[in-house]
Structure 1
Amino acid sequence: MEIRLAQKGDLPQIVGLCKQHAEYEQAEYSTKDKEKLLSKAIFGTSPSLKCLVVAEGNTIVGYATFMQQFSTWDVGFYLYLDCLFLTEETRGKGLGTALMEKIKEYSKIENCTEIQWQTPDFNEKAIRFYQKNGGISKKKERFFMKV
C-alpha cells in the first residue's frame, strides 16, 4: 500500500470514505456537492486543506486531512488533523501509524510544533491508537453553531 497526496481522481472514493467515517462516528453525512467542495479546498487556487490517501492499487482505503492553524495562546502555528480514517479491513496493519508519521513530517515542514485533533469519547479504539502514538488527551467540550 502507498501513502501519497490525494489526486483529483481520488475524490469520489474519498467522499465515499467520508460517508463511512461519518457512519462509524454515528454522524449524519450528505454526499451532495462534496466532490466539488473538496476539490476547491484541496486543489483550488488557495487550498486550505491537505489530504493524504492510502492507496492499494487504484483503491483508496484510507485518508487523512489536515490544515495549518494559529494558536493565539502559543503565538505559533499548529497542524490540525481534521480526519483520519481507514477501512475496517485495513486497520491494525500499521497504516494509521504511517499516516501519523507523514503528518508529523508535514508539520515540521510547515514549522508547526504541535498537532491537534479530536475523536468522539466513545471511539475507544481510536483513543487507544492515539495514546499509543504519543497523543495526549485534553478534556474540552466541542461546540458548533450553524450559520
Structure 2
Amino acid sequence: MRCLVAELPDGEVVGYASCAPELSTWQGREYLHMDCLFLWADSRGSGLGALLMEAVVAEARALGLDEVQ
C-alpha cells in the first residue's frame, strides 16, 4: 500500500491519496487500485486533488502498471 500526501509549504498535511497494486482475476493482470482521495475542506478547489491524481498515475507508471481504478 502507498499513501501519497498533499503538504503545504509550512509542512501541514492537508490531504492524501492511498493506493495499492491489485490483481484483476478477470483480466489476468495487475493494476493500481486507488482506495481513497481526501482533502480537508479548506484545501478543496485549490488544484491539490488534481496533483494527487497525477501523483497516483505517476506511481502506477513507476510500478510498470498501465491502469488506475
- 1:88 lines up with 2:41 in the alignment: yes
Unaligned runs of 5+ in 2: none
Runs of 4 or more, structure 1, over 3 Å off, are: none
Give the length in aligned residue pairs.
Answer: 68
- Could you report, residue by residue, the CA deviation over 1:91-134 in whole angstroms, capped at 9, with x for unpaired residues? 11111111101110111111222111xxxxxxxxxxxxxxxxxx
Q: How big is each residue's C-alpha offset from its partner over 1:27-55, in whole Å with a ceiling of 9 and x where there is no partner?
A: xxxxxxxxxxxxxxxxxxxxxx1111111
SS in 1 for 2:42: helix
What is the CA–CA distance in structure 1 between the aligned matches of 2:14 and 2:55, rounded to whole Å? Answer: 16
The Cα RMSD (Å) is 0.9
Q: What code does the residue aligned with 1:64 have?
A: A
Secondary structure of the 1:115 match is: coil
The residue that corresponds to 1:109 in the other structure is 62
The aligned amino acid for 1:62 is G
**Aligned counterpart in structure 2 of residue 74 of structure 1, from 9, 27, 34:** 27
| 2:52 paired residue number | 99
- Counting only pairs closer than 5 Å after superposition, residues 1-147 of structure 1 correspond to structure 2 as 49-56=1-8, 57-116=10-69
SS of the aligned residue for 1:96 comes to: helix
Q: Measure, in 1, the Cα distance between the counterparts of 2:42 and 2:66.
A: 33
Measured after TM superposition, the shift of residue 58 of structure 1 is 2.4
Distance in 2 (alpha carbons) for counterparts of 1:52 and 1:100: 10
Which of structures 1 and 2 has the bigger CA Rg? Answer: 1
Residue matched to 1:43: none
- Taking the aligned partners of 2:64 and 2:14, their CA distance within structure 1 comes to 29
TM-score normalized with structure 2 length: 0.90
**Which consecutive unaligned segments of at least 5 residues does structure 1 have?**
1-48, 117-147
